Amino acid sequence: MNPPIRWFTFAAPSRFYWLAGALNPWLWASTVALTVAGLYVGFFIAPTDAVQGESYRIIFIHVPAAWMSMIVYLAMAFWAALGWMFNARMASMLARALAPTGAMFTFLALWTGALWGKPTWGTWWVWDARLTSELILLFLYLGYIALVASIDDVVRGDKAGALLAIVGAVNVPIIYFSVDWWNTLHQGATISLTAAPKMAHTMLAAMLLMTLAFWAYAFAVVLTRAQALILERERKTEWVRQLALTRKGWQ
């Protein structure tokens, strides 16, 4: 019988750094493989849409990016809160590491949405509840990044950032349910856990493959950024000094 994995071990930045380095090659490889598979199914197997023609193929990145924008925010708020409550350094670093990736996915959701809205709705943008609340999400990410960057004392910066992240989390269910609560130009959910998806199987397969690719990507890039933050905060410690001097070890 294997001994149980002691997860709190990885709350120590030195061990987390090692874990991230060990996982990263696999995560990058998964990102590439899943992206290639998703694009292949999305462009060469999924059929043309009867109503929207080829423009619907934007869905394969639009929906995964929008999902990631919300999930990454919740993860950021979770780790920020944990870091605040338990004074856990690694949790606070993870929150900071997640923010730029979340902002990037939020921007992509808005950008691809605009490029999809033009041919299908006739407009790049409307101030409907879904689009507006997603734009607010982008501002929350940018506000968090600017706030923590503007406070020199890292512990104080972590706490201020945590407060903003937690309060802003109320926006995530608003985004998610906006299409049910208000009359929006944006359509309701096509995929739900409780009903059969309202789309062709091959289309769904492409979208899920791209979703997994985005997950793998998010883990890989966030772990890389977390490693950078660890090196910066722990640069006075012996293990980082040794690592830097030898320039070896897990990067």
Partner 1 sequence: MNWLSVSDFLTMRGYGLYVWGSYGMTALLMLLEPWLAIRHRRRALRAAANPDAED
Q: What does the binding site for partner 1 look like in residue numbers (CB under 8 A)?
A: 43-44, 46-48, 53-55, 57-58, 61-62, 65, 100-101, 104, 107-108, 111-112, 115-116, 118-119, 217, 220-221, 224-225, 227-229, 231-232, 235-236, 240-241, 243-245, 247, 251
Q: Which is nearer to partner 1, 196 or 245 (CB)?
A: 245
| Count of helices and strands (H, E) across the chain | 8, 0
Q: Where are the alpha helices (DSSP H) in 122-237?
A: 129-150, 154-168, 171-181, 201-233
121 vs 133: CA distance, rounded Å: 19
CB 242 within 8 A of CB 22: no
Residue pair 83/92 in contact (Cβ under 8 Å)? The answer is: yes
SS3 content of the chain, % helix, strand, coil (to 5): 75, 0, 20
Q: Which is nearer to partner 1, 27 or 81 (CB)?
A: 27
Q: Which is nearer to partner 1, 81 or 96 (CB)?
A: 96
Minimal distance, residue 30 CB to partner 1, in Å: 14
Minimum Å distance from CB 131 to partner 1?
Answer: 16
Cα 117 to its chain centre, rounded Å, is 23
CB of 4 to partner 1, least distance (A): 31
Closest separation between CB of residue 123 and partner 1, Å? 13
Report the distance separating Cα 48 and Cα 41, nearest Å: 12
Work out how close the CB of 112 gets to partner 1 at its nearest, in angstroms, rounded to a whole number: 4
Q: Which is nearer to partner 1, 60 or 84 (CB)?
A: 60
The nearer residue to partner 1, 158 or 234, going by C-beta atoms, is: 234
Q: Three-state SS for 82? A: helix
